[in-house]
Amino acid sequence: MTVCNSCRYCEGLCAVFPAMEMRRSFGDGDLDYLANLCHSCGACYVDCQFSPPHEFNVNVPKVLAEVRGDSYATYAWPQVLAPLFRRNGLALSFMCVFCIAVSFGWLAVGPDASAIFAIHTGPGAFYELMPHNTMAVMFGAAFAFSIFAITMSARNFWRAIGPAPANAGVVPSVWQAMQDAGRLRYLDGGGAGCEVTSAPDRRRLFHHMTFYGFLLCFAATSVGTLYHYLLAREAPYPWYDLPVVLGALGGLGLLVGPVGLLTQRKARDPAVRAETHRGLDTAFLVMLFLTSATGFAVLLLRATPALGVTLVIHLGVVMALFLTLPYGKFVHGIYRYLALVRHAQERAAHKH
């Protein structure tokens, strides 16, 4: 960063370099802020006159990707679970197997273990396998813990990157960050004159499919909850009903988006990839894909004897996803958004 701050050739490429130029020294919090502001477009590596094979060996995308991955563990709450970031693929696998095993065990010790292989149809069919209140308490508790842990981690990160400028407005900065995040403004650098590589970068498309697919699935679950408690309508719902339509559209995004991101990662220049956290990226995308795939299996097989097995597997995967959200790649979206808010605050204060 000191070399870049002296050169400033890349100041028009993205948000990282203008933010860097507002600093004369770089503490841990500054580097974590810049690392989460970086979208790894790779343009600065191509443009840099000090990148390999130069003896300075400046490789901003790779180094910031490594720092970014380390920052997730640094600010994790509680800290005793921070090692999960370093063993994320293994942790997710064990968590998924454990949750599925618990779900199978719950059904096996029920009043009629054979019900798992029976045909269940009509409203409330899912709850013949697992009572609704039990399901709501289990998943509600897991989701509440994840939200609290992510909130505490975000607070730790926000404090570490230093105080906001005194004359920066909060609401305008939050709104500007929402626009930048929603458009993924800096995924290709965001500035004029960015380097266009020979391999097309479709990460923006697959990011959008993954993100909005996740939101649609969350919306489907929320609508289903309102149906249950406000309208006394029990799942499963008809194919044309809103929860199913939203879930199917979101599920499609969570099938195509993660696969696309994995293929795009493989196609990127190895020089700018941080292999130290490859398992972290892969594990989260695989979990999203499995959540969607098992959800479609439940939808397609819900009137067959396979419903019980597919439902248990799906619930186990979803539970594992919920429990590991604060300790996987999901937090990168939170940290990056906070970094964009801080960048918007600094820009506003600099103009004044």
199 pLDDT above the threshold of 60? no
Q: What's the whole-number mean pLDDT along residues 123-134? A: 82
Confidence label for 303 from pLDDT (cuts 50, 70 and 90) = confident
Domain presence at residue 220: no
The reported pLDDT for the residue numbered 200 is: 58
Domain presence at residue 114: yes
Apex 31 CA angle, 27 and 33, nearest 5: 115
Domain presence at residue 260: no
The reported pLDDT for the residue numbered 280 is: 82
Number of domains in the chain: 1
110 pLDDT above the threshold of 70? no
Q: In this structure, are residues 51 and 232 in contact, taking their beta carbons and an 8 Å threshold?
A: no
Within 10 A of 117 (CB to CB), how many other CB atoms are there? 11
Q: What's the whole-number mean pLDDT along residues 145-150? A: 96
**For 154-179, what is each residue's pLDDT tens digit?**
999 999 999 888 877 889 999 999 99
Counts for the chain of helices (H) and strands (E), in that order: 13, 0
Q: In sequence order, what are the residues at sequence separation of 6 or more whose Cβ sits closer than 8 angstroms to the Cβ of residue 229?
A: none
Q: In this structure, are residues 182 and 208 in contact, taking their beta carbons and an 8 Å threshold?
A: no
Domain presence at residue 262: no
Q: Which residue has the higher pLDDT, 308 or 278?
A: 308
Share of the chain above pLDDT 90, in %: 49
198 pLDDT above the threshold of 50? no
Structure tokens at 138: 């289990």
The reported pLDDT for the residue numbered 109 is: 63
**For 30-40, what is each residue's pLDDT tens digit?**
999 999 999 88
Domain presence at residue 168: yes
Domain presence at residue 43: yes
Domain presence at residue 214: no
Domain presence at residue 102: yes
246 pLDDT above the threshold of 80? yes
Q: In sequence order, what are the residues at sequence separation of 6 or more whose Cβ sits closer than 8 angstroms to the Cβ of residue 53?
A: none
Q: In this structure, are residues 22 and 350 in contact, taking their beta carbons and an 8 Å threshold?
A: yes
Reported pTM: 0.89
The reported pLDDT for the residue numbered 190 is: 55
191 pLDDT above the threshold of 80? no
The reported pLDDT for the residue numbered 196 is: 47
Q: What's the whole-number mean pLDDT along residues 253-271? A: 91
Domain housing 35: 2-201+268-351
90 pLDDT above the threshold of 60? yes
Across the chain, what does the average pLDDT equal? Answer: 87
The reported pLDDT for the residue numbered 92 is: 78
